[in-house]
Amino acid sequence: MKKIFLILSLVLFNLNQAKTISDSLSIPDDLSEILFNECDACGCAAGNGSSGFESLLNPQFIGVKYFAQHYKAKENLFVNDLTQDQYFNTIQLWAKIPLSQRLSVYASLPFHFHEKKTLQGDININGIGDFNLMGIYKLINSKDNKHELNGGVGVKVPLGKFDEKGISGVNPSFQLGTGSWDYQAVLNYRFQKNKVAVLLNTDYTIKTENKKHYQFGNQWNYSATGFYQIVGTEKMILSAKAGLQGEVYDRNRQYKEDLPKTAGSALYGKLGFEASYKKVSLGTELMLPTYTNLAGGDIEAKSRFSVFINFGI
Task: Give the tens place of pLDDT for each residue, 20-34.
Answer: 333 344 444 333 333
Task: Calculate mean pLDDT across residues 40-66.
Answer: 56
Strand order in the sheet with 253-254: 214-215, 253-254, 257-258
| Confidence grade of residue 232 (pLDDT, cut at 50, 70, 90) | confident
- What lies within 8 Å, CB to CB, of 190 at 6+ separation is 27, 31, 32, 33, 147, 148, 149, 150, 197, 198, 199, 200
Number of continuous H segments (helices) and E segments (strands) in the chain: 1, 16
What is the CA angle 186-191-192, rounded to 5?
Answer: 135
Task: Calculate mean pLDDT across residues 118-138.
Answer: 93
The pLDDT value recorded for residue 117 is 93
The pLDDT value recorded for residue 77 is 67
The pLDDT value recorded for residue 58 is 54
What is the CA angle 44-45-47, rounded to 5?
Answer: 90
List Cα–Cα distances, 138 to 95, 186, 200, 204, in angstroms: 17, 12, 15, 18
The pLDDT value recorded for residue 120 is 86
pLDDT at 71 over 70: yes
Query: Which among 226, 208, 264, 265 is positioned nearest to 46, based on CA atoms?
Result: 208
Give 3-state DSSP helix, strand, coil % of the chain, rounded to 5. 10, 60, 35
Q: What pTM does this model have?
A: 0.84
Q: Tally the residues of the chain.
A: 313
Distance CA 198, CA 13 (A): 7
Task: Calculate mean pLDDT across residues 128-152.
Answer: 92
The mean of the pLDDT values for the chain is 83
Task: Calculate mean pLDDT across residues 117-126.
Answer: 92
